[in-house]
Structure 1
Amino acid sequence: MRQQKFKLKTLFSVMGLFLLGIGYTYGQQVQVSGNVSDDAGPLPGVSVFIKGTNNGTATDFDGNYEITAASNAVLSFSFIGYKNKDVSINGKTTINVKLEEDVSALEEVVVVGYGAQKKKELTGAVAQVKSEELLKTSTADIGTALQGQIAGVNVVASSGAPGAEANVMIRGLTSINGANRPLYVVDGIPFDGDPKLSINEIETIDVLKDGASAAIYGTRGAAGVILITTKKGKEGQMKIAVDSYYGLQHITSGTPLLNVEDRLYAQFIQGAALSDTRYGNTWTVIEQSPHFLTNNTDLMGVIENDLAPIQNHSLTVSGGRDGLTYSLTGSYFNQEGAIIKSGYDRFNVRANSQFVKGKWNIATGISFRVEDREHAPWGLLGNAIGYSPYQPYLDPDTSQLDNAGDGTGANNLSFLGYQFLQEDNQENNYFDGNLSVTYNFTNNLKITSRVASSYDNGTRITINPKFIAYRDDGSEVTSQRSRIRNLSSLAKKFTWENILNYQKSFGDHNFNFTGVYSSERYNYSEFFAEKSDLASNDITVLNGATADPNVGSGNNPWTQDRESTLIGMLARLQYNYKGKYLLSGAVRRDGSSRFKEEPWGVFPSVTAGWNVSDENFWNPIKNTISNFKLRGSRGTTGNQGIADYTYTPTITLDNDYVLGAGSNQNLVLGATQTGFANPRVKWETSVSLNAGFDLGFFNNKLTLSGDMYETKKQDMLFPVLLPPTAGGGQDAEVTLNVGDMINKGVEFALNYQHNGKFSWNTGFTYTRNRNEITKMSGSNKIIYFDDSSISGHDNDQDLVSALAEGYEGGAFFLIETNGTIKNEEELAEYQQLVPDAKLGDLRYVDFDNNGTIDINDRQYMGSGTPDFEMGLNFSANWKDLDFSMQWYGSFNSEIINGNKALAYKDGTHQDLVYQWTPQNSTSDIPVYRNATHNNYRGQTDYWLEDGTFVRLRNISLGYTVPRDYTEILGITKFRVYVAAQNPVTITKYDGYDPEVGNNGLSTRGIDKGTYPVSSQIRTGLQIEF
């Protein structure tokens, strides 16, 4: 792998040196000078280029410029917020230019799926983000780059692990079965999940938010659609762009833990409170375990990799002539983890080309990606939080325990050493290619046929090497067995689409018809194998282990072999009259192999719009309110996001059974039904309504857009666990249509653009969404998620997140606490509920008044989903300086601090210094007793905290070297900058980070060993030739 990376780096370097050597050819030259201005005066920083070349300059602070060009050349003047202007030289030596503002952007084209539309003609809720905004973040993830950029798009980090994908939800929770991620479509090709493009490959991102806009993708559009257009070449001289940055990461917060002195003090007052003779006085403690004072182990300091580097380097070459254009982008992203034993490497290469000749248009796209990911050892953060500071330190080179003391401490260190040496590496090689052929029969009629194929080959190898720890006396500590695991996967997908487009105008009546037929086939296979007892740590292959081989495929729980197909047909008709009255209707019909008896679903949509500001009666106020449009839509989408083959039962041959009696007993192979069929499972459908407006003021310098929406989800798909009486064991489940859900919300986007010597732009977004489960089928009106346990107890007693009728998905249901038992009177009263309660214990509220504290006392206490979100973006340019910042706020969400619960349970949290004692009887921090005591139950509100936060997502300051100094080297742009990501977070949350996304539903807002999000500072440069 390293050799492959070195070869790619060498290739990029050679390309760069070769292209830098290309010179420029000039004709008869003249010196041209002049001034560029607008209605308000001179304009600094205007780009002045010789058209068709990369030669150019920029105006100074007074709007003046000078350039040498051929006497018959054409000068092109461009500036952000103004219309471009071309002027022929015709031998002149002085050319003054006045630019007109162009802040309306209503003629801009946005991608809407199987086509494009002018913004003025849009009737759905569609938003666009351009590449320059995405490049302001240092991330390998597209979702993270979108955070706070678009109203209605909720982005929360799933974790801070290198290369981790953010959870992206468009207009709230759209499914309860995990199918909440939007559909990604890259250059017209749908992708299953995040396509993991380099940000440098992307030209624009268009987001289809309303159901009607997304309905043209049928079953795959229920969670919204993200349309990505990658960079394409343009005719003209070859252009080269280099983008590079290097930065450092830092974890800014954490769980406050005890040092050894505080730990001994907390243990002493605990012993006094419990009348424990072991801790009657500190001298007894030290006499029994003298190493307590010689050790002061900070395991968090060991596992945190402070100032871990992050870097990205990209090279893009583009150009074209005679109808052939091309663009080639290669990039390398590397991120070391802020936690040890983790990291991420990624190479991306993309080549796009297009050839136009006569009536033919042929486009190709090829992408190759190599990923290397090192996963942090399982439970590493949690083990470090729960580790007592007086436990011994382990030298990883000698396996020698320093002052190990008792056997318990040595055994704990032995396990941690085993974790520290673990290697968990995953490699993915990805390739996709597409070919699109368009034939224009007439100016009005064209047909496009597009094929695409992708291939993803992954391997994940986990190695736990042999590890033997020794005490100071030379005795061996029992250690974990060495083991190697190999999980290999192969995913293949083939897509074929045929698109017919016909557009025709009859006077002021404009029609556009689109017809689509598409088919997809997806294959996925997985194979797992493991063995134990490695002969040597130097032999890291399966054959290097000697015991307990375990292999599987097909029905083995660790492996899969599956295939699915999807067929779709679409008809869409768009109409407008004079561009004022807009109407669009579409019908999509999809067939899925995942449904047996009802494989087909029909998804209609209709949208309408009215450009009110184009009416004659609007003219008197048009100078003030320059644009006003009303929009409305209704659309139906589907969801097939369930496992394959749920309509057929599965039986596993993995249980032994004893037949016979006495001496005639025989052990025979038994079978268990682990998958129960539901052949009548049907489509999950969503019906969405949207009403919106677009306003522009003062020639659209100030714009405001707003939307109000409602989405009703019916027949939600969910795998339901069956009781053991069904005969399928504890993991048996069946997929059912379990209920209905609704999302309601409002969103606003405000933007202001000011042009001049000091140009600036600010944008504000506001999103409020309300989610509710309106119906749960059957008698069970609440289903707890089995992965939402807290405090390490994996049973129903400690599950905290659920689906419940009348509440949002992933709502928290917890037992209320009422402080500690502070005196004998409170103790006597509380012992009526809990007879064995003692002074200093937590008091729980008997919510159902049945005279006992049990799981039925849980009550609703919010969720990890915020009530509303806001984003604020600001950018400014003055002379050669540029500045930008992005703020994001998430309000009124809740977080369950599982790390705090773990630290309390293991007696390592700093709060325990202030626990209840007879001398500190007003404290609400319970007495520490033992890890399994009721004081540390997971399903209580004692761990619940306010998750509201406001964060400075990005801030950057850049300087562009004047072109007069760089053009002699053939450089048209040379910009350097410094930037910071997540440098400021304002929050009351006491844990690592308030941005706790996890899987986006069942564990959203549950912070238990989640890899923390780090802050970053970086410096970079951008060069264009």
Structure 2
Amino acid sequence: NSGSPGSSYNIRIRGITTNGNNSPLVIVDGVNIGTDISVIDPNDIERMDIIKDASSAIYGVQGANGVILITTKTGKNNRKTKFNYNSFFSFQEAAHKIKLMDATEYAVYVNETEIADGNSLPYPNLGNLEYNTDWQDKLFTTSPLISHSLSATGGSEKMNYSVSGTYFTQDGIIASDKSNYERWTVKNNLGVNLTGKLQLNTFLLYTNVKRRTIPESGRGSALYYALNASPLTPVYDGTDGSGPSRGFSYISTEQGTEIINPFALIYNAYNETKVNRFTGKIELAYELIEGLKATSRFNFNYSEVYYRGYSPLQYYGPNKVVNNVTLDGTGNFDIDRNDDGDRDVYSTVNENKQTYYDYTWESFFDYTKSFGDHNFNMLVGTSIRSEQYKGIFGSGYLVNGADSWSNAYLFNTQSFIIDDDDTPNGNPQDIQQTTNSSSGIGEDRWYSIFGRLQYDFKGKYLFSGMLRRDASTRFGPNNRVGYFPSFSAGWVLSEESFFNVNGIDKLKFRGSWGITGNDKIGSYRWVGLLQGANAEAAYPFADVLSYGNALGSLANPDLQWETNYQTNIGFDTTLFNGMFDLSVDYYIKKTEDLLLTPEVSGVLGASAGGSSPPIVNAGTIENKGIDMSLNFKYAFSENISIGLGYNLTSIKNKALEVNNAAGFISGGLFGLNQSTSRFQTGLPIGVFYGLKTDGVFQNQAQVDAHAAQAGAQPGDLRYVDVDGDGVVEFGSSDDLTVIGNPIPDVTMGFNFNLDFYQFDFSTSLYASIGNDVTRSYERFLTYSNKSTLYLDRWTGEGTSNTVPRASTNASNNFLFSDFYVEDGSYLRIQNIQLGYTLPTSISEKIGIDNFRLYVAVNNAFTFTKYKGYNPDVSNADPVSAGVDLGQYPQTRTFTTGINVSF
């Protein structure tokens, strides 16, 4: 996960099962809150369970990627009010910096490059270099993270309640004044026994978020620029900041036309998002007769998302592609490009408001009955769900009042025409409208019927069967309905009369099979849509362009459910009076009729601006592996105890079928336009696919003896002729092969806790083994900075067989190959915490029940060979997993906090 303020968690349960959204469903106290777990205060959580197998089918289509069940703390009947206050204060810092060349190393590299190409030395005096800018050191700061939460729980004879409020704020370790996050959360649970048989349960969660951001990860971000800018360029140019440079040095064109001063980018970055969200539940449960209960539950989510952005006039130096204004003859902003005395260049304002509303109404009967040793539970019900969306978007030129962030609102723009009297050639498309607006609306609906039967005999033979029928408007009328059954069985061997094994308290074997469905493709993707008001909708009539409508998205009325087939077998055991417990699972999960976006011909219009190709069912993925967890606990005495936990997951992922014309789907980005990854039959999804190297050419004899490789010279990377035709082909896929896999072979977790009288200590570790990462944050130009990896470059025969020579003409060394793929395996000490709890004899004297003080370090150390910021690089697109474009680094935090109850 990213260390950016307010960034969400990237959670995967049992690997990648779809080419789209792989996030699990989060259920809090029976309420569907979507996929964002960060809105729940950890102090409110009493229990968390994860559903991994086919039993998630009871939650319908949204449970296709697994389900996280969170139970929050609630009050108890006939208990007086208890208050809990939790607070912590943290300092954050970048957990890792990428090792780059300093000024001298950089100058030597550039000199060597120019000499190799027959040019003169750009830096002849290495002892008199004026600057040595460490852009990362200048960019990263230490920033605070603060949290306060207060809760009250209690209850009377017929009522229980829980109320909590949380304030959380986090500043970024980059540009904290423009990159920060603030969240207020209020949660309420209320349970009321209205009569002896009628129970009312309510849940309400309000979240208010304010987030400011800068371009912070990937291409076009402050980090990307900092990693590639020359250390010989200073941050500031020595001016007073009133001119076009705003006081920041220009990055030379030789370093890249898209590389700019990261501090200038931050200066011009103004982005703010505000979110108001209400999540709630009203539930009535009535006991009709003994064992039979009727429940009706209404859940809702309502969110308002408001965004405001401001883009002032920006000039980052000559020939920079991100400039939105040029300079005139006097060195000032050229705001009159046509020299007609009228201003035609302005700062721009963007504002939009989006509203999301969904509700789920579930009604079901739950019947429990026993006949002797036979125990039954039956559940049958219906579910109606609706998701609605509205959005309005506006942009305009800031023409009224001060040109500033505080004035950047749409009501300070005007709707008028620029260059109406100076339109070149009389073409209407050259006229600029100063204010533009658009809107969008959408709705999806689901209707479901479900039933479940559970049976056990004497608590040792267990069976469960479930069937759910889902209908979704995201598919056409012929394919809207899907049927999703699941079955599970268990045998508690330890309950058998013949089982008498010393040391084994409980032994249970279990298995399950089932089908779940996925429809996460967005709204209206099965129908054809028109797109207007763009260049593709312009038609010439009498030498004048007229705007109408053109083909937008292509229709696919045969689109149908993506289906997951899951099989799971395992066992659970408890040993030595509860000292050990062990769970082991083996699973196979196959996803068929994968929902994909194929590449289609531009003749169909699907490659035009504003248009999109259809979604199709065109693939099959298989995940299989082992889950294991082992826990140990032991109390040496009333005051001394320890606990240890270990878990392991192995995943083998494979695409069994990709039904498009090419047989694969490309993804990822390397350089300016090279792809890194493939979703291809027979291979793991997102596998790295490129050229394979076999060292570095040491002399001309090796070049001559090797397969023909265009432009090869001693010191260049030697590529493998994969197809054996005697030619290394750069423009063909014949010599491309698998060069890495971003999916780990094994992930492991370990935790340890110790209670020693009033002290407590805990630590947790996490390891990932076998995942590869691609360095895609490097810019391959002579004057852009380089990793210290290139200090070990080839400088003559025998000097290096891994890192190529320095040369501006060796462009084939910059093709995507395994030279840029690294082992991303790592071991991370995630948390170290030491706490002290005040003795009860002292806390009672000062009127409190409990007082605990603690210190902690989060993300303390990461041991890895990977040279980038984060070895666990994540991307929303599974075909781009493990591609590091300069992701915001994770932060190391030093924390002190208190827990008080009274």
Task: Check the 8 A contact 1:831/1:837 in 2, yes or no.
Answer: no
Structure 2: runs of 5+ lacking an equivalent: 319-328, 336-344, 419-432
Instruction: Give 1:88-237 correspondences, 5 Å limit.
Output: 157=1, 159-176=2-19, 178-195=20-37, 196-211=39-54, 213-235=55-77, 236-237=79-80
> 1-side partners of 2:491 and 2:74: how far apart?
33
> 1-side partners of 2:167 and 2:246: how far apart?
40
Which of 359, 365, 380 lines up with 2:222 in the alignment? 380
TM-score by length of 1: 0.78
Task: Check the 8 A contact 1:953/1:982 in 2, yes or no.
Answer: yes
Match of 2:169 in 1: 334
Match of 1:21 in 2: none
Distance 1:470 1:169, change over 3 A: closer
Which of 518, 521, 540 lines up with 1:639 in the alignment? 518
The Cα of 1:543 is off from its aligned counterpart by 3.8
Which of 286, 289, 295 lines up with 1:448 in the alignment? 295
Match of 1:315 in 2: 150
SS of corresponding position for 2:819: helix
Match of 2:387 in 1: 522
Match of 2:730 in 1: 853
SS of corresponding position for 1:871: strand
SS of corresponding position for 1:170: coil
Task: Check the 8 A contact 1:867/1:892 in 2, yes or no.
Answer: yes
Comparing 535-544 with 581-590, which one deviates more in the overlay? 535-544
> 2-side partners of 1:225 and 1:905: how far apart?
50
Match of 1:536 in 2: 403
Match of 1:553 in 2: 438
Task: Check the 8 A contact 1:801/1:1002 in 2, yes or no.
Answer: yes
SS of corresponding position for 2:116: helix
The Cα of 1:391 is off from its aligned counterpart by 1.9
Which of 615, 620, 625 lines up with 1:745 in the alignment? 625
Task: Check the 8 A contact 1:208/1:225 in 2, yes or no.
Answer: yes
SS of corresponding position for 2:722: coil
The Cα of 1:914 is off from its aligned counterpart by 4.0
> 2-side partners of 1:898 and 1:728: how far apart?
29
Task: Check the 8 A contact 2:749/2:764 in 1, yes or no.
Answer: yes
Task: Check the 8 A contact 1:996/1:1004 in 2, yes or no.
Answer: yes
Which of 803, 806, 814 lines up with 2:690 in the alignment? 814
The Cα of 1:394 is off from its aligned counterpart by 2.2
> 1-side partners of 2:251 and 2:380: how far apart?
76
> 1-side partners of 2:174 and 2:56: how far apart?
39
The Cα of 1:702 is off from its aligned counterpart by 0.9
> 2-side partners of 1:215 and 1:354: how far apart?
28
User: What is the alpha-carbon root mean square deviation over aligned residues?
Assistant: 2.7
> 2-side partners of 1:322 and 1:922: how far apart?
79
Match of 2:838 in 1: 961
The Cα of 1:568 is off from its aligned counterpart by 1.0
Which of 654, 657, 666 lines up with 1:772 in the alignment? 654
Which of 287, 303, 324 lines up with 2:139 in the alignment? 303
SS of corresponding position for 1:807: coil
> 2-side partners of 1:336 and 1:215: how far apart?
40
Count of residues paired in the alignment: 840
Distance 1:508 1:911, change over 3 A: closer
Q: Deviations over 1:509-541 (max 9, x none)?
A: 111111121101110122222224565114221
Q: Deviations over 1:767-823 (max 9, x none)?
A: 1111111112244321112xx1112x13xxx11112100011111111112333332
Match of 1:755 in 2: 635
> 2-side partners of 1:545 and 1:260: how far apart?
46
Which of 112, 124, 135 lines up with 1:269 in the alignment? 112
Distance 1:299 1:702, change over 3 A: same
Which of 324, 337, 358 lines up with 2:159 in the alignment? 324
Which of 235, 258, 261 lines up with 1:393 in the alignment? 235
The Cα of 1:408 is off from its aligned counterpart by 7.3
Instruction: Give 1:333-372 correspondences, 5 Å limit.
Output: 333-340=168-175, 341-356=178-193, 357-372=195-210
TM-score by length of 2: 0.88
Distance 1:656 1:595, change over 3 A: closer
Comparing 994-1003 with 608-617, which one deviates more in the overlay? 994-1003
SS of corresponding position for 2:109: helix
Match of 1:875 in 2: 753
Distance 1:632 1:696, change over 3 A: same
SS of corresponding position for 1:695: strand
Alignment of 1:496 onto 2:377: no
Match of 1:695 in 2: 573
Q: Deviations over 1:356-383 (max 9, x none)?
A: 1311110111110011112222511101
> 1-side partners of 2:390 and 2:547: how far apart?
27
Task: Check the 8 A contact 1:572/1:587 in 2, yes or no.
Answer: yes
Alignment of 1:601 onto 2:479: no
Distance 1:342 1:825, change over 3 A: same
Task: Check the 8 A contact 1:354/1:363 in 2, yes or no.
Answer: yes
> 2-side partners of 1:470 and 1:859: how far apart?
41
Which of 587, 591, 606 lines up with 1:709 in the alignment? 587
> 1-side partners of 2:120 and 2:783: how far apart?
21
Alignment of 1:804 onto 2:641: no
Match of 1:434 in 2: 281
Match of 1:124 in 2: none
The Cα of 1:659 is off from its aligned counterpart by 6.7
> 2-side partners of 1:878 and 1:563: how far apart?
56
SS of corresponding position for 1:233: coil
> 2-side partners of 1:392 and 1:458: how far apart?
39
> 1-side partners of 2:578 and 2:456: how far apart?
23
> 1-side partners of 2:112 and 2:789: how far apart?
13
> 1-side partners of 2:330 and 2:763: how far apart?
58
> 2-side partners of 1:410 and 1:726: how far apart?
36
Task: Check the 8 A contact 1:790/1:901 in 2, yes or no.
Answer: no
Distance 1:425 1:978, change over 3 A: same
SS of corresponding position for 1:254: coil
The Cα of 1:1012 is off from its aligned counterpart by 0.8
Q: Deviations over 1:450-503 (max 9, x none)?
A: 1122210001222223457899x9944889963322232110011111121111
Q: Deviations over 1:679-735 (max 9, x none)?
A: 011111111111111111112211111111111211111122312132333563111
The Cα of 1:336 is off from its aligned counterpart by 1.0
